[in-house]
Structure 1
Amino acid sequence: MNTCPPPMDEASLDRDLQQSAMLKLAEHFHSLATGASQVPLQSLHSHLRSQIDDPHVLDYHDRLIAGAGPLFSHFLASVPYILEELSRVGVALTRLAQASPREAGETFSLFEVDAFDGANGRALAGHSQGLIRSLTASPNRANQIPFEQHADPALSRFYPQSFFKVSPALLQTPEYQSFSQGFDFIYEMAAFQFYTRDRDRQIAHIRQFLKPGGLAFFLEKLNHPDPQEYQRREQIKDEAFKTRYFSEEEIRWKRQQMLEQMQNGQVTLEELVSALSARFKHVHLLWSSSNFCELVASDDSQQIERFLGLLGPVVQPAAFCFEGARIGRLTVSHARVEEPGHV
């Protein structure tokens, strides 16, 4: 693992967490995670399934659906075509691990940052037949119920706290010791926005757990410099996608009750790329949908290229991809932060 940043005082961390939208909205998240509200009106199976030619992507898709608890199902029904995207990326990561040189019995690891009930990590562990093993953090304890219902404990673990509570010391404890050397892959599942806009601190915290040459993925809902453009993208998401799964009243309720808190922690694409470029040598934009973007970052350009070479086509209507012209490597002009002990 990389050298960790200076530890935060535990009391200060707890105070900061209590002020975050992640905990201020805890009651809403609990309601969603227990299926008490905002349950999708129909099956989540992709209506674009006929456009998926790769049987491995279809297998991953089916695993995601089968293992999804209420809150993750709500997420899949709220972010246009993230189901198809997670399946595409999961298959590419499996193929990357299969093609990587390794010792007999050696496995790879994924850290999911506040990723609901770990459905994606469990799907990756199952699809890769245990070649990739997962650890999921989530401060919503209701997510632990579907995790335990579906997880193979030999392949996937759950930590019922904020990702900020994950530490090198935690990964040395018996329950999590299999991840003591760090992670080959890290995936932030739209989590940072529920804390603060301080992407540098957030990225630095998870960066310490990434193995040299590892890949870190960031799925975020982003702000936009033009408020009218932000709202236009929101309108397309709500009216052309979410109405498949939620009533107009439910969509309006979420907009009024939750999105203001969420937007308080959102940053622009330029701000996110700037923060990532300060910690990583290479940053690529992989995917865009309404106000959401997915990026991958690493210090190993060859590993990113190997991953991109295994990545199948995007399955998504073009009308939802607003940053399509920027797909590929993104750069900023400022210097990268060099960390002590960084390889």
Structure 2
Amino acid sequence: MRGLDDFLAECDRGPRINELTGFFAATAGGKSGMPIRNPVADPRLLPRNELLRKLVGLHAARQGFFDQHYHGSIPYRLEEECRMAYAVLQYAQQRHTPLSLYSLGTAEGTMARTLSELSEGQILTLSCSPNPENYASFMAYGEPRYAEFFIGPFHRLTKDVLRSDRRLEKFVHGFDIILEDTTFQMYSPNRSKQIEFVAQHLREGGIFVFVEKFRAIDDNDYMRREHQKDYGFKARYFPVEEIESKKTAVLKTMFGNEVTLAEMSRAASAHFKHCIITWNSGNFCSLAASNSKENLDLYVSQMAAPAIPHEYVYETRLHWSATIDAAEPGP
């Protein structure tokens, strides 16, 4: 128990719910950090598909304040979120059974809610955030029938909390998919304990998806990718002075909690036999891990090609796998 108590105390000291609280509250409430124009998914990068078209449309209709900031900050993250959501929809249909998804730290939970609505309950979702402002955005379109929201940091969502809440008790037996969306890096670099804590909620054979910003082996490479992100993409949505001020107010703190892909590989391999990179944008990567190669292969096979210009892609091969030395992203 001491190990768990130490981990919870470490999370309680994390920047996300301490020195960065003001930034996240103001952005989630739409009081600052709003882009000069709303990010819109580029249809030229996504397959022409009726289900995907409906997904993109509903996702756009359900966005709140923080999503607008987020998708204007990371190159082609919006297209990737739609690509990922489409893969989850297809994965659920292939399995022919209801699916449960836990999206931790994903602001107002737009993707999760979209999946629940579009699947008409075939996908039950739970989102969490420490900010009540994000919950207000989640509820702005009415109370969803198949999507739930936990107001609190990820490390305070325990089995006991799920059992004690009538709305959440349906998730007490775990989730088929868990998405960690740039959350761990806001607390500490302790990926091993973070993964261990959240993985208790993953069902046997479930899939754990990580979306994180990673340190590069070469600091110069890291900074070149940052400049590309800031002035090749982000400047479309934010004034230069706002981009610079965020570096000082947020990104410098977050950098101290980032890890390398190699460090992430070591942490994830302690819990999962299989892992694959499914997306890369500059210093950001998405990884999908599971102890079921069959489930992981099925999920990845439902993904369209990454919807991102090739000049933003630097990482295309995995650093570890239990069965193969490396794996290409995408189907």
Q: What is the CA–CA distance in structure 1 between the aligned matches of 2:198 and 2:105, rounded to whole Å?
A: 11
**1:240-286 CA distances to partner (integer Å, 9 max, x unpaired)?**
11011101011011011111111111000111111111100101110
Q: Which residue in the other structure is 2:265 paired with?
A: 273
3-state SS of paired residue (1:115): coil
Contact 2:109–2:138, Cα closer than 8 Å, also in 1: yes
Q: Which residue in the other structure is 1:127 paired with?
A: 118
Q: What is the CA–CA distance in structure 1 between the aligned matches of 2:90 and 2:143, rounded to whole Å?
A: 21
Contact 2:125–2:147, Cα closer than 8 Å, also in 1: yes
Deviates more, 1:181-190 or 1:142-151: 142-151
Q: CA deviation at 1:182?
A: 0.6
**1:153-192 CA distances to partner (integer Å, 9 max, x unpaired)?**
3211111111100111112121211112110110001000
Q: What is the CA–CA distance in structure 2 between the aligned matches of 1:158 and 1:40, rounded to whole Å?
A: 25
3-state SS of paired residue (1:203): helix
Q: What is the CA–CA distance in structure 2 between the aligned matches of 1:332 and 1:213, rounded to whole Å?
A: 15
Q: Which residue in the other structure is 1:293 paired with?
A: 285
Q: Which residue in the other structure is 1:8 paired with?
A: 4
Residue type of the alignment partner of 1:51: L
Q: Which residue in the other structure is 1:27 paired with?
A: 22
Residue type of the alignment partner of 1:8: L
**1:1-45 CA distances to partner (integer Å, 9 max, x unpaired)?**
xxxx88733xx5664344211012001111111111110111211
Q: Identity of counterpart residues, as a percentage?
A: 30
Q: Which residue in the other structure is 2:58 paired with?
A: 63
3-state SS of paired residue (2:4): coil
Q: What is the CA–CA distance in structure 1 between the aligned matches of 2:52 and 2:163, rounded to whole Å?
A: 34
1:315 pairs, out of 307, 310, 315, with: 307
Q: What is the CA–CA distance in structure 1 between the aligned matches of 2:320 and 2:197, rounded to whole Å?
A: 22
Contact 1:113–1:187, Cα closer than 8 Å, also in 2: yes
Q: Which residue in the other structure is 2:45 paired with?
A: 51
Q: CA deviation at 1:329?
A: 7.4
Contact 1:94–1:124, Cα closer than 8 Å, also in 2: yes
1:304 pairs, out of 286, 293, 296, with: 296
Q: What is the CA–CA distance in structure 2 between the aligned matches of 1:189 and 1:203, rounded to whole Å?
A: 13
Q: Which residue in the other structure is 1:238 paired with?
A: 230
Q: How many residues align?
A: 320
Q: Which residue in the other structure is 2:95 paired with?
A: 100
Contact 1:285–1:330, Cα closer than 8 Å, also in 2: no
What TM-score comes out, normalization by structure 1 length?
0.89
Contact 1:238–1:251, Cα closer than 8 Å, also in 2: yes
Unpaired runs of 5+ in structure 2?
324-331
Q: What is the CA–CA distance in structure 2 between the aligned matches of 1:86 and 1:178, rounded to whole Å?
A: 25
Does 2:150 align with 1:154?
no
3-state SS of paired residue (1:169): helix
Q: Which residue in the other structure is 1:223 paired with?
A: 215
Contact 1:44–1:65, Cα closer than 8 Å, also in 2: no
2:244 pairs, out of 230, 246, 252, with: 252
Q: Which residue in the other structure is 2:174 paired with?
A: 182
What TM-score comes out, normalization by structure 2 length?
0.92
Residue type of the alignment partner of 2:255: Q
Q: CA deviation at 1:318?
A: 0.5
RMSD between aligned residues: 1.8
Q: Which residue in the other structure is 1:337 paired with?
A: none
Q: Which residue in the other structure is 2:109 paired with?
A: 118
CA 1:194 to 1:79, structure 2 compared with 1: closer, same or farther past 3 Å? same
Q: Which residue in the other structure is 1:340 paired with?
A: none
CA 1:6 to 1:166, structure 2 compared with 1: closer, same or farther past 3 Å? farther
Q: CA deviation at 1:62?
A: 2.0
Unpaired runs of 5+ in structure 1?
334-343
Does 2:321 align with 1:331?
yes
**1:213-263 CA distances to partner (integer Å, 9 max, x unpaired)?**
111100000111211110000000001110111010110110111111111
**1:109-168 CA distances to partner (integer Å, 9 max, x unpaired)?**
110111111111111112222210111111122111001113543211111111100111
3-state SS of paired residue (1:30): helix
Deviates more, 1:57-66 or 1:77-86: 57-66
